[in-house]
Amino acid sequence: MPTSSQSYPMSGGEDQHSYIHNSSYQKAAVDGIEEKTRQYILEKIDLLNLNPDLSTFTIADFGCSIGPNTFHAVQNIIDAVKRKHLKESQENSLVFLEFQVYFNDQPNNDFNTLFRSQPPSSQQEYFSVVGVPGSFYGRVLPRNSIHIGYTSYTTHWLSKVPEHVCDKKSPAWNKSYIQCNNLIEEVTKAYKVQFTKDMSVFLKARAEELVPGGLMIALGQCLPDGVPMYETWSCIVKDTIGDCLLDMAISGLTTIEKIELFNLPVYFPEFSELKGAIEQNGSFTIEMMETEDHPLEAMQLTNDFITSMFRAIFSKVIEEHFGNGVVDELFDKLAKKLSKQPIDFEKCKKQMVYYIVFKRK
């Protein structure tokens, strides 16, 4: 059964601030692994072994948001499976294959926009498209029902803000910081503990949902081992959002007390933490696990790009805590601060894109 989890979807709808129009950073990473995914499926997946009578191939995207990235990722997987199926069919008689796709996200994800923006049915290669509202920190699909699971840019979202980071009396109090920036050891520990618990629940659920031999493909952002979050540019942006909130408290638009009670439920693990989590679960073999630079990292991202991207990601969680009406002012301030003090990309350390393929034993 699904477990409870706080839920902060990306900005919905189709206006200029929506995730649809501000997810090209994530898309660049998704595109970057397409070829590897195709190759992997062609070379390594064994349809005959999976089930020679298989007629419905099921794919699930966990944390799909509202597109367009999910549709690209799913289509890429389908193309590769079709090619593999054609190849294997020449040697063995395989049954005609149809595809079923499950799109999972939190119940308050904008599923209407997701389904409205799906490719026209004439281009669509799957018959059954199913929305699966529920937290992926728990079972959301039947046992042994998925052949390929996919997730991108999702599991850094924790099920909740770790305990004590908003508690002034605790050594894990994060003062007026709004994220785990690795500056306070006890805070880092609290976030790590929450991440480890959440990953364990995520992997246990996927282990039950995937068929034996089924694949899970995961990508997202992590820290290279030993690199603290505060040395990365994305940490600097989030700390700057915190500074903007403090400015807003000075001008009476919010209060320091409110800021001290706010933390982002987001944690970027080190690469080895991810590996440890999968090994610890024990139900999967790691088939491929690597990191690479983000494809856009070589470019100087503009302040407008950064502001719009962070707004599409964090508006909901900020609104939920600070109320309606703070978001416009906050992100105007962020844009101004960033133009006064631009990010020095040369000096910052990079987060890496991780790409992991693991197989259900």
By CB under 6 A, name the binding residues for ligand SAM: 5, 9-10, 23, 26, 30, 63-65, 69-70, 104-106, 109, 135-137, 152-154, 157, 159, 313
Taking the complex as a whole, the smallest distance from the CB of residue 166 to ligand SAM amounts, in Å, to: 20
Q: Name the residue with tokens 């001290």.
A: 260
> 345 Cβ partners below 8 Å, 6+ apart?
233, 300, 301
The nearer residue to ligand SAM, 259 or 317, going by C-beta atoms, is 317
The nearer residue to ligand SAM, 80 or 353, going by C-beta atoms, is 353
Q: Are 95 and 53 in contact (CB under 8 A)?
A: yes
Ramachandran bin of 260, using left for φ above 0, alpha for ψ from -120 to 50, beta for the remaining angles: alpha
C-alpha of 131 from chain center: 17
Tell me phi and psi for residue 356, to 5 degrees: -130, 130
Taking the complex as a whole, the smallest distance from the CB of residue 87 to ligand SAM amounts, in Å, to: 29
Cα dihedral across residues 33, 272, 214, 20: positive or negative: negative
Taking the complex as a whole, the smallest distance from the CB of residue 102 to ligand SAM amounts, in Å, to: 12
Taking the complex as a whole, the smallest distance from the CB of residue 164 to ligand SAM amounts, in Å, to: 21
What CA–CA distance (Å, rounded) separates 240 from 246? 10
Taking the complex as a whole, the smallest distance from the CB of residue 155 to ligand SAM amounts, in Å, to: 8
Tell me phi and psi for residue 203, to 5 degrees: -70, -35
The nearer residue to ligand SAM, 94 or 148, going by C-beta atoms, is 148
What CA–CA distance (Å, rounded) separates 237 from 241? 6
The nearer residue to ligand SAM, 10 or 178, going by C-beta atoms, is 10
Taking the complex as a whole, the smallest distance from the CB of residue 108 to ligand SAM amounts, in Å, to: 8
C-alpha of 101 from chain center: 18
The nearer residue to ligand SAM, 72 or 192, going by C-beta atoms, is 72
The nearer residue to ligand SAM, 6 or 176, going by C-beta atoms, is 6
A 10 A CB-CB count for 292 gives 15
The nearer residue to ligand SAM, 30 or 217, going by C-beta atoms, is 30
What CA–CA distance (Å, rounded) separates 282 from 34? 27
What CA–CA distance (Å, rounded) separates 177 from 238? 9
Taking the complex as a whole, the smallest distance from the CB of residue 38 to ligand SAM amounts, in Å, to: 18
Hey, which residues does 353 pair with through a beta bridge?
221, 292
The nearer residue to ligand SAM, 202 or 233, going by C-beta atoms, is 202
Q: Are 246 and 256 in contact (CB under 8 A)?
A: yes
Taking the complex as a whole, the smallest distance from the CB of residue 88 to ligand SAM amounts, in Å, to: 29
Which three-class secondary structure state does DSSP give residue 263? coil
The nearer residue to ligand SAM, 57 or 136, going by C-beta atoms, is 136
The nearer residue to ligand SAM, 140 or 338, going by C-beta atoms, is 140
Chain residue at closest Cβ approach to ligand SAM:
63
Would strands 284-292 and 210-222 be described as parallel, antiparallel, or unpaired? unpaired
Taking the complex as a whole, the smallest distance from the CB of residue 48 to ligand SAM amounts, in Å, to: 31
Q: Are 271 and 354 in contact (CB under 8 A)?
A: yes
- Which stretches of the chain are assigned E, i.e. beta strand? 56-62, 98-105, 128-133, 146-152, 210-222, 284-292, 352-360
Taking the complex as a whole, the smallest distance from the CB of residue 268 to ligand SAM amounts, in Å, to: 12
